[in-house]
Structure formats: C-alpha cells, structure tokens
Amino acid sequence: MATFGVFLVLASLDNAAAGVLPPLFAIVARDLRGDEAALGTITAVFILVAAASAAFWGYRGDRGGRKRLLFAGTLVWVAAMALSGGAASIRQLLLWQLITAAGVGSISSIGFSIVSDVIPFHRRGLALSLWSISQTLGAAFGALLASTVGALNWRWPFFIIAALGALFALLYLFTGEPRRGQAEPDLAPLFAAGQAYTPRIRLADLPHILARRSNVWLLAHRFFFALAYGATVWIPRWAIARVEAEGYSLETATVVGNLFVTLFGLGLFFAVPAGHLGDRWQQRRPDGRARLAAFGLLASIPFFTALYFIPLRGLTFPEDAGIWLLAWHVIRSFFTNGWAALALGVAIVALALYACAPPNWAAMSTDVNLPEQRGTFIGISRIVRAVADAASVWLVGLLFAALEGAAPAPLNYAVGLALFQLPVIPAGIALLLAGRHVPRDQAAVRQQMRAHAQSSLSP
C-alpha cells in the first residue's frame, strides 16, 4: 500500500506540473511580453511531447525494470520544472516545459503498469478511481497554486511543484517494486510456487495490441474524449473572464476565477463510487463498466453546456485583498449569490457524471491487455489523446478569437466551450462498442496467462 500511496502522489504532481501554466496565461504573457496564443501553443506542444515520451517510457518499462526508469523520469521533470520557474522569455519557458513534458510521460505509463500489478483483480475500478482522482487533484492543486501563489508571483508554483516532486521521488526509492502480474488470479499458482512471470513485450506484439477490437474502441473513445475535454484547459480563462466582466482587475479575477473552478471540481470525487459501481456492474454483466461510463458521459452534456452560459452577476469581492480573504468571499458567494450557487450545483452534477468514465476506461484497459503490455498500451493511448488534446486546445483558441467580434468575452468562451461538447457523443458510443468486445478479449488474455502458468509449472 505504501507503493500505491507514493504513486498516487507522484501521479498528482505530474498533473500539477502539466496544469499549472494555463491558469497563468494572462499574467505570464504580460510578464514575458508574449501573448496568450503563444502560451496556448506551449501547452499544446507539452501535451504532445508528454504523450510521445509516455509511449517510450511505457515500452521500456514493459521490457524490463520499471523502478529505475520511473525515478529517472521523475528527476527529469523535477529539474526542468524548476528551470521553467526561472524562465526569462517565452522561448526559454518553451524549452524547459518541453523537457518537463519528456519526464512527466514516465508517470502515466510506467506508473499505470505498476499500479495495475498492485491492485486486486476484483477492485480495479475502485483502485483506478483513486488513481484518476489523484491526477485530477494534482491538476486542481496546480490550478490552485497558480490562482493563489501564482497571482503574487507566477514563478513560485513551478518551484513548489518541483520541490514536492523531488521529495516524493526520494520516498519512492524506499518502496518495493511489485512483481509483474502479481494481482492476476490466473498467475497465482505461478507465484505460489516461487516463480516469476517472465514474458516481456516485443515489437512484434504491437500489431496484435492495436488489432484487439476492445483496444480499437477504447482508443477511439480516448480520441473523442480528449477532443471534447482538451478544450477545458480554457475553463479557468472562461471563469476569469466572467469575473472581469463584473468590473474586477485581472489579478483579482485570476484568483477568484480559479477558486471557482477549483471548487467546481468537487464533483470529480464521484469517481470513487463510480469505480466501485463499475466493479459491481462488471460482475453482473460483461459490459457493465462500458455502460456505466457511457451513460455518465452522455448525461453530462446538457449540464456542461448549461454551466458555460450561467452568468456570475452580483459578485462582491474586495479588490487587492489577500488570498484567504478572497477565498472566504468565494465560499460565501455560494450561499449569498443565486448565480454562484447555481453554477456550483450544475458544475458538480456535470463533473460527477463525467467522472464515471476515466476509472472504468482504465479498468477495461487493464482487463484486456497482458501485464507486459499495459504500459505500452497506456503510452499509445496517451499519443491518441494528445493529438486530440492538442487539436482541441488549438481549435478552441481559434474559435474564441473568431467569435470575439460577434460575441465579446466571456460569451465567446461560453459558446466555444459548449460547441466542444459535441465530440462527447461519439466518445460515449465508442465505449458501448468497446463493451461488446471486452468479454471475449478479456477471456483470451486470461487464457494466455493460465497457459503460461501451466507451462512454467509443468515438469
């Protein structure tokens, strides 16, 4: 459990590293004499590099020892994150963020592979919901640092995240590396006999992984999911614009807007019961996880769309106030301002429904891939997601600019974000189609593991 706990923190910190810049777009652009479009480009390229590196790290981890690789990757992003905080220009920030991304990719693929070997077979949905929440909390932590400490000095959040990453990288050295496949019931006789699961991925396995029908639809889901939700990196900018529209300065709006977004994220904690429900539904019917995840995504569309158009009128905050005083006024607004209360309620429902998908997608990905293939599959999925993420961030930025003439901020942000809910529909359909193939592919994977165990134990 110590290993699982350290991984949860590392997963949260790598998402904090990835999520700290977008809430600071306006302030960093002003300080480094750039523009928000350039910073949006940095974020898009960060996503692509992190994904490409995840595929590399995942394949290398599936080939051999994972602990030293993960430690090395963590040191890379920690050092580059600290240097990002010292950047004196947009170009320097781009360079250090690219190196940060190269290291961050190790957590998502190698970390997932290790975690899948720690959690019990029948608890995958629940455990992976904690993995999912840790990443969400990390992104929220990055956004919170950006909106509070970053409003005073945008460089400090980079230094803080780097320091925490270094601390937990050292703690990771004192944890044990789980045996590959140790959570699989079909391999239990092998481990009981004191033997190890020795298969390792080969390049020749890649076509078979990509041809597996469940994987095809899981990757298709990942693409449309990212196309829809990649645009949400702009949600802090939407919230800031909402507050600015009420007459507040950029500094005050940055703090208040990001605090609103952070509190909206309370709905994401529903991932825990959603993961547990996925485990239960999967035991009752073979496509249980897929149905639950698809239902949640499709049901979230009207709530997300409504959220973007809710005005935040009548807000009262003291200008140039300290962080904690502004935080108090934000919390109080949910009880004294009807618009703020409505936005909070709608956001929590939207995110609770959305939260059904990530842990159950991750559990299905584990179910239909062999232990020595999981890091690689997650790396591949990161590339698919990154392409869609980058396209989403770039396209929605262009859409905001195109809409600005006819729909000034914050309306341009609301319309743009609402339009990017459309790809959620094919994302939900892809989950249902994946659910049709999961039972057969899972049975084939389990049969391969049983066959390996039997052949290894044969005299």
Give the model's pLDDT for residue 346: 96
pLDDT tens, position by position, 143-162: 778 877 887 888 999 999 99
Q: Residue ranges of the chain with pLDDT lower than 50?
A: none
The residue to which tokens 């999925």 are assigned:
381
d(CA 429, CA 423): 10
Q: What is the 3-state secondary structure (H, E, C) of 277-310?
A: HHHHHHHHCCCHHHHHHHHHHHHHHHHHHHHHCC
CB atoms within 10 A of CB 202: 11
Summarize pLDDT for 195-222 with one digit per residue, the tens: 888 889 999 999 999 999 999 999 999 9
- Give the pLDDT score at 402: 86
The answer to whether the CB of 61 falls within 8 A of the CB of 109 is yes
> Tell me, what's the pLDDT at 2?
63
3-state secondary structure of 270: helix
132 CB neighbour count, 10 Å cutoff: 24
Query: DSSP letter at 65?
Result: -
Q: What is the pLDDT of residue 354?
A: 94
Tell me the two tokens of residue 138: 């990390």
> Would you identify the CATH topology of the domain 2-457?
Growth Hormone; Chain: A; (1.20.1250)
Q: Pull the structure tokens for residue 148.
A: 């509070």
Q: How is the chain split among helix, strand and coil, in percent rounded to 5?
A: 80, 0, 20
Distances in whole angstroms, Cα of residue 117 to Cα of each of 15, 69, 126, 140, 160: 22, 17, 14, 27, 31
Given this model, what pLDDT does residue 10 score? 77
Q: Which two tokens stand for residue 210?
A: 């990509």
Going from N- to C-terminal start, the domains of the chain cover: 2-457
Rounded Cα–Cα distance for residues 137 and 132 (Å): 9
Specify whether the CB–CB gap between 287 and 347 falls below 8 A. Answer: no
Ramachandran sector of residue 135 (left: φ over 0; alpha: ψ -120 to 50; beta: rest): alpha
Please give the pLDDT value at position 3.
67
> What does 365-383 look like in DSSP terms, one character per residue?
HHHTS-GGGHHHHHHHHHH
Residue 342: enclosing H or E segment and its boundaries?
A: helix 338-354
Q: Which pLDDT tens digit goes with each residue over 56-69?
A: 999 998 987 788 88
* Cis preceding-peptide flag for 410 (omega within 30 of 0): yes
Structure-block tokens of residue 412: 């341009």
Which has the closest alpha carbon to 368: 180, 184, 106, 119?
184
| Whole-number Å distance between alpha carbons of 181 and 178 | 8
DSSP letter at 193 equals T
Assess contact for 64 and 200: CB atoms under 8 A. yes
- pTM for the predicted model, two decimal places: 0.85
Quickly tell me which residue has 């020749």 as its tokens. Answer: 204
